[in-house]
Amino acid sequence: MRRPLTLLLALAPPAAAQSPAPPWAARLIAGYPGLVTQVTASEVVLSNGTRLPRTLGPAGAPLSPAPTTDPGRTRYEPFFDAIYGDCRKGTVRLRDVAWLHGRGGGSIRVTTANHVAEQLEAVIRDLEKLPPAMTRYLVPHSGGYSCRAIAGTSQRSMHSYGIAVDLASAQADYWRWSGGEGARYRNRLPAAIIAAFERHGFIWGGRWRHFDTMHFEYRPELLPGR
Ligand SMILES: [Zn+2]
């Protein structure tokens, strides 16, 4: 069980301008190597010179049952635009990655930025070691890159940045399919699959109050202690 983290996403109040770098600063710098260079008392500084207000503190949540926070729905878009590009402008760099070829998985499209494609290949190498009985959770996958908004919102999905993958929808539980707001938490995905993704920086959508158990996204800053 990972330790719960504190939600740090609120706009920094004026008093915070004097505060030291937050505890997540090191994870952010490590998770975006060569891209995030510094977290100051008030800003996140990127290597290309972009300076963003320090509003993008990561969040985490304990594993099931009953996650109570929503790190997947509280994202700071300008940060992801700066790191990965804007799909509406065609600036997201993409590559097709072989998805469990030996099990008939085809391929899946993700970004090459921030080593995401390579990290997904590391996940896949771990998934290939899992028993054949788990293939039904993985194949067919339900998509990687897709330039779209999160259902029911105007916020861009993490699929728009090429950093998210969806597993087999037939085995998935999703809050919208389970009655909508206030849906009772449910998950069928084996822990070994979740661990394979999170070991390489892809956080599981089943951690979120608005759960989406087929969804993983590359958010190394949310996964301490890897
Ligand atoms: Zn998804």
pLDDT digits (tens, 9 = 90+) for 54-97: 765 544 333 333 345 665 556 788 889 999 999 999 999 999 99
pLDDT for 106 equals 96
Does residue 17 lie in a domain region? no
Does residue 23 lie in a domain region? no
Return the closest-CA partner of residue 28 out of 208, 202, 223. Answer: 223
Q: Which is higher by pLDDT, 107 or 174?
A: 107
Q: How confident is the model at residue 178 (pLDDT cuts 50, 70, 90)?
A: confident
Number of domains in the chain: 1
What residues make up the domain containing 184?
Answer: 58-222
Whether 137 shows a pLDDT value over 70: the answer reads: yes
If you measure from the C-alpha of residue 18 to the centroid of ligand 1, how many angstroms do you get, rounded to a whole number? 37
If you measure from the C-alpha of residue 173 to the centroid of ligand 1, how many angstroms do you get, rounded to a whole number? 12
Torsion sign (Cα): 86, 47, 117, 61: negative
| Alpha-carbon gap, residue 66 to 122, rounded angstroms | 29
If you measure from the C-alpha of residue 166 to the centroid of ligand 1, how many angstroms do you get, rounded to a whole number? 5
> If you average pLDDT over residues 94-116, what whole number do you get?
97
| Alpha-carbon gap, residue 40 to 101, rounded angstroms | 44
List of long-range contacts for 84-88, beta carbons under 8 Å, 24+ apart: 84/111, 84/113, 84/114, 84/161, 84/162, 84/163, 85/111, 85/113, 85/161, 87/145, 87/147, 87/156, 87/160, 87/161, 87/162, 88/147
If you measure from the C-alpha of residue 203 to the centroid of ligand 1, how many angstroms do you get, rounded to a whole number? 11
Does residue 42 lie in a domain region? no
Q: What is the CATH number for 146?
A: 3.30.1380
If you measure from the C-alpha of residue 8 to the centroid of ligand 1, how many angstroms do you get, rounded to a whole number? 23
| Alpha-carbon gap, residue 54 to 116, rounded angstroms | 23
If you measure from the C-alpha of residue 142 to the centroid of ligand 1, how many angstroms do you get, rounded to a whole number? 8
Looking at residue 216, the DSSP 8-state letter turns out to be: E
| Alpha-carbon gap, residue 25 to 18, rounded angstroms | 15
Q: In the chain, what percentage of residues exceed pLDDT 90?
A: 54
Does residue 7 lie in a domain region? no
Token readout for 183 is 């849906």
If you measure from the C-alpha of residue 23 to the centroid of ligand 1, how many angstroms do you get, rounded to a whole number? 28
Does residue 69 lie in a domain region? yes
Does residue 197 lie in a domain region? yes
| Alpha-carbon gap, residue 171 to 168, rounded angstroms | 6
**Which residues lie closer than 8 Å to 20 by C-beta, 6 or more apart?**
41
If you measure from the C-alpha of residue 13 to the centroid of ligand 1, how many angstroms do you get, rounded to a whole number? 32
As a whole number, the mean pLDDT across the chain is 83
Does residue 26 lie in a domain region? no
Does residue 180 lie in a domain region? yes
| Alpha-carbon gap, residue 94 to 111, rounded angstroms | 4
If you measure from the C-alpha of residue 216 to the centroid of ligand 1, how many angstroms do you get, rounded to a whole number? 6
